[in-house]
Amino acid sequence: MEYKKYRIYLNTTHGNYIPASSNTVNDLVSLFKYWLERTNEGFYLPMEASGTVILQQIDKKTGAYVNEKRLPFKGRNDLINAIRTLGAR
- The model's pLDDT over 11-67, given as tens digits with 9 standing for 90+, comes to 998 899 999 999 999 999 999 999 999 999 999 999 999 999 999 999 988 889 988
Domain extents in the chain: 6-86
What is the model's pTM?
Answer: 0.90
Q: What's the gap between Cα 40 and its chain centre?
A: 16
Task: Tell me the angle at which helices 79-86 and 28-38 cross, rounded to the nearest 10 degrees.
Answer: 160
Q: Are 55 and 72 in contact (CB under 8 A)?
A: no
- The model's pLDDT over 68-82, given as tens digits with 9 standing for 90+, comes to 999 999 999 999 999
